[in-house]
Each structure stands twice: as C-alpha cells, then as structure tokens.
Amino acid sequence: MPRNVTFPLKAYNRMKKRDFHPESLMMSYGYKPELSEGALKCPIFQTSTFVFKSAEEGKSFFEVAYMHREKRPQEEVGLIYSRLNNPDLEILEDRLTLWDKAEDCAVFESGMSAISTVLLEFLNPGDLLLYSSPVYGGTHHFIHHVLTKFGINILCFTADQSKDEIIELIECSGLSNNLAMIYIETPANPTNSLIDIESSKSIAVELSNENKEILVAVDNTFMGPLWQHPLQLGADIVLYSATKYIGGHSDVIAGACMGSKEIIARIKTLRTFLGNMAGPWTGWLLMRSLETLKPRMELQAANAARVATYLIQHLLIEKVYYLGFITEENPAQYNIYKKQYESAGAMISFDIIGGEKEAFTFLNNLKLIKLAVSLGSTESLAEHPASMTHVDISPDERKVHSISEKLIRLSIGVENVDDLIWDIEQALAEVKMG
Ligand SMILES: *Cc1c(COP(=O)(O)O)cnc(C)c1O
C-alpha cells in the first residue's frame, strides 16, 4: 500500500484482487467451510433428500428448479433431492468450469451418459448428425445403433478431409437443411489425427439460419481440460469422460459436459429425468482428483515425450503416432496442432514390426506397464486397439484409420520415466528373441 495514503487497512485488503489460476482454486473454490461446521474439506453429502426450513421455502425452491419463475438476483438454487442437485456435484461443477472458462457444467455417472444425454437433448427425428471418424467405441455404438432407431440421420467425415470437401459431403447427402450438430473427437483415438475445431464451427455457422443454430460438440477427453480448450475455439459444448485425466486414478467412472448457461440448463433438465447424474461419492472423489490434475498431467506429458523419443529410434518399431512428432511436412495437421494444442499430451501409439504375434509378445512381457484399456491415469497402460478397444469397427474402416494388427496404444502415467523405458526395452527384447 502506498505509504502516504491514509486508508483503513481492512478496506484496502478488500479491494485487493487477483484472478487466481485454476490450479490455485482446486482446493477451495465454491466451498464455504462455515456451512459445514468449519470442515476444511468439503464433506461427502451422502443424502438423498434435503430438509426445507419451511413449506414456503420448499415451494420457492421448486419454482426455480422447474423454471416456473426466474431466479432472483443473488438467489441460489435450493437443495431439494440428490437427483436434481447435491453440494458435492455443484461444487465440483463450479470447479470444472474454471479450466475451460465455461459458464456452467453438468456432471454425470459416466462419460457415456454425458455424451448420450447431449445427443438425445439436441437431436430430433429427421435431423442430421455429422461426426468425425473414428470416435470412441461407445459413442460409435450409440450413434449407429441408438440414434438411428429414433430416425436421426448420421454422416461421418475424417481428419484428412478439407472444409470444402466436408461441405460437399453434407450437400451430397441431400440433408444439409437438417444438419443439427457437428460432433468431433480430436485427437482421434488411437492414431492421434487432428480435427480443426474452428473450421468445423465455421461450417456450422455457414449452414445455420435464423430458425436453427447448428451446434458443435467436442469430446475433449484426450487433451482436456489442460491442453485443448474447445469452447475458446468456438465449440458450443465440451464433453469429458472424467474417468480419464480428471478422475485420473483408475478408480471411478464419471463424465462431464460444459457450455453456456442455456445449453447446460437444457442438459441438466434431461439429466434429471434420465437420472444419470453422478452421486455424491463420485463428486467427492473427482474433487480430490482435481487438486492434483495439473501436476499429474504435466508429469504424464513430460514422461510421454521421453518415451516417444525412445520408441522412434528403436529398430523393432516402424512408426510412432505422437502429437509431438507432427512436422511441417504435413502442413494441414501441423497448423491444427500449433493452433489447438498446448502440449503433445500423454498418449502414444506405435506400429511394431510384424503383426498380432509380435504385438502380443510385447504386451505379455511388460512388467510395470499394465495391460488394460482406459487411459489418462496415474499408472501407464498398454493395449491392442485392433483386438480390444476398436474390435467393433469394421476391418475396412480399421484399415482407413491405420488400426492394424501391429498397432499398440500406450497411455503414459506418472511413474519414473527410466523405469517405463526399461520396461518397454525389455519387452521389445523378448519380441526380438521371438
Ligand atoms: C472413455 C471414453 C469415453 C467414455 O467414457 P466412460 O467414462 O467410460 O463412460 C468417451 N470418449 C472418450 C474419448 C473416452 O476415452
């Protein structure tokens, strides 16, 4: 404080302001200890229902919850019943918005419930859904086997198609007036090919009109919430399997969805009636995980960079799919990488020389890295996409996306990186010996 100013210290302190970074706020944001007996940490509100102070209060809470009247300024949504709201979920949702600078967030009991609820809320019979291929297996199944049952038309595009080619594809379908949503997953799993979010948004804007706004939804599980911020690039909805980095300890299944207040209000309403919200225990676990989100993800990315550098020089390895290896020789992918990502992430896939036999020998001989699907966790995981995560995709489609018998996918964790490289080296030595 300037010395010559006579100013009450308390008033000066109140004026001091700083916008703290998300990682500084993950331990406290949105939680008031005075409402919970002074407990430093948010308790687990393991309760199905909440007591109203009076019948009038109960009436007023319901009016807001069912949108029979607007919320008054400063009025908070009252706690009613844990299918509608619960403090562990509300505080978690507030914290999650900070990373993506979203207005609001809804959390779910799984990534798939977040994805399916968004698709069901914003698509109607006759609509066209355009989606990037490949998408997560569960999403692919939901789009192909559930949405089509409700008369929703589907069309896919791939990372190597330009904006003009995608628009032509939509027009050739004869359904360009019915386009309602563009759904993107980038980087694509397991080959890390990139889709341009801004360009997808510009397609949505070009094909929207005053009666209809085409929404862009992005599954940001692979790079979020730290390394890619789809809402800042024009997306309307960002989706997460919070099972992955956000949860990050392979001990909970959860999902999240973020966007504007209006969009999330619609999603939360459908969530209330599908009943697929996360429970208080899941909310509490995710809050605990969020405290270490940034250091975990940064260490995972640093470890992945070392592992990728090791893999690319190995004689038994043919090709490495890693964002850090995209070069200007591939200008389209390179430009998206530079514009959209703040890190090369912690997912690496590679082609081993040979086929399924060599891939399986490698996987069966790992000693530290676990042979399991899933990703984004503290422990490193390895799997064989062609026979595991991507087995449901037709052989032709697998070929298009380079998902061959020799492809192995790694999710790098927080272990000592020299131990990880030692493990990969010794498992590759077993492959060499046949
Ligand atoms: C795991 C995953 C999902 C599904 O999430 P669940 O939490 O398993 O329901 C969706 N998208 C991507 C990219 C994923 O990796």
The CATH number assigned to the domain holding 282 equals 3.40.640.10
Q: Answer whether residue 3 shows pLDDT above 70.
A: no
Residue 211 forms part of a structural domain = yes
pLDDT mean over 376-390: 96
Other beta carbons within 10 Å of 285? 21
Residue 70: the pLDDT is 86
Give the model confidence (pLDDT) of 388-423 as tens digits: 999 888 889 889 889 999 999 999 999 999 999 999
Q: Answer whether residue 304 shows pLDDT above 80.
A: yes
Residue 30 forms part of a structural domain = no
Residue 351 forms part of a structural domain = yes
What's the count of helices (H) and strands (E) in the chain, helices before strands?
15, 12
Residue 380 forms part of a structural domain = yes
168 plus 238 within the same structural domain: yes
User: If pLDDT is split at 50, 70 and 90, which confidence band does 71 have?
Assistant: confident
Which residue's alpha carbon is nearest to atom 11 within ligand 1? Answer: 136
304 plus 257 within the same structural domain: no
Percent of the chain with pLDDT over 90: 86
User: If pLDDT is split at 50, 70 and 90, which confidence band does 204 have?
Assistant: very high
* DSSP, residue by residue, 303-369: HHHHHHHHHHT-TTEEEEE-GGG--TTSHHHHHHHHHH-SS--SEEEEEESS-HHHHHHHHHT-SSS
281 plus 404 within the same structural domain: no
pLDDT mean over 161-190: 96
Percent of the chain with pLDDT over 70: 98
pLDDT mean over 367-388: 97
337 plus 272 within the same structural domain: no
* CA gap 201, 238 in Å, rounded: 13
Last residue of a domain, one of 271, 290, 309: 290
Q: What share of the chain is helix, strand, coil (3-state, %, to 5)?
A: 45, 15, 40
Q: Answer whether residue 73 shows pLDDT above 80.
A: yes
Residue 217: the pLDDT is 98
User: If pLDDT is split at 50, 70 and 90, which confidence band does 224 have?
Assistant: confident
Provide Rg for the chain, Cα atoms: 24
pLDDT mean over 139-160: 96
Burial class of residue 67 (count of CB atoms within 10 Å of its CB; 0-12, 13-18, 19+): exposed
153 plus 87 within the same structural domain: yes
Classify residue 354 as left (phi > 0), alpha (psi -120 to 50) or beta: left
272 plus 372 within the same structural domain: no
196 plus 232 within the same structural domain: yes
Residue 16: the pLDDT is 82
164 plus 305 within the same structural domain: no
CA of 255 to the centre of ligand 1 (A): 8
Which range (6-20, 128-142, 197-211, 246-260) has the least confidence?
6-20
Residue 155 forms part of a structural domain = yes
- Please give the model's pTM, rounded to 2 decimal places: 0.94
Residue 372: the pLDDT is 97
Return the best residue to mutate from 108, 112, 135, 143 for the ligand 1 pocket (most ligand atoms within 8 A of CB). Answer: 112
316 plus 176 within the same structural domain: no
Q: Is 255 in the pocket of ligand 1 (CB under 6 A)?
A: yes
Residue 9 forms part of a structural domain = no
Residue 194 forms part of a structural domain = yes
CA of 224 to the centre of ligand 1 (A): 12
Residue 74 forms part of a structural domain = no
Last residue of a domain, one of 263, 290, 317: 290
Looking at every residue in the chain, the average pLDDT score rounds to: 95
Phi/psi at 126 (nearest 5 deg)?
A: 95, -20
Which range (174-188, 353-367, 394-408) has the least confidence?
394-408
173 plus 282 within the same structural domain: yes
149 plus 126 within the same structural domain: yes
Which residue's alpha carbon is nearest to atom 2 within ligand 1? Answer: 241
Residue 2: the pLDDT is 55
Q: Tally the domains of the chain.
A: 2
User: If pLDDT is split at 50, 70 and 90, which confidence band does 6 have?
Assistant: low
CATH classification of the domain holding 422: 3.90.1150.10
Domain that holds residue 388: 293-433
283 plus 298 within the same structural domain: no
pLDDT mean over 279-283: 98
Give the model confidence (pLDDT) of 288-297 as tens digits: 999 999 999 9
CA of 251 to the centre of ligand 1 (A): 14
CA of 136 to the centre of ligand 1 (A): 7
Return the active site residues. Answer: 83, 136, 219, 244
User: If pLDDT is split at 50, 70 and 90, which confidence band does 352 have?
Assistant: very high
Last residue of a domain, one of 256, 290, 324: 290
pLDDT mean over 155-178: 96
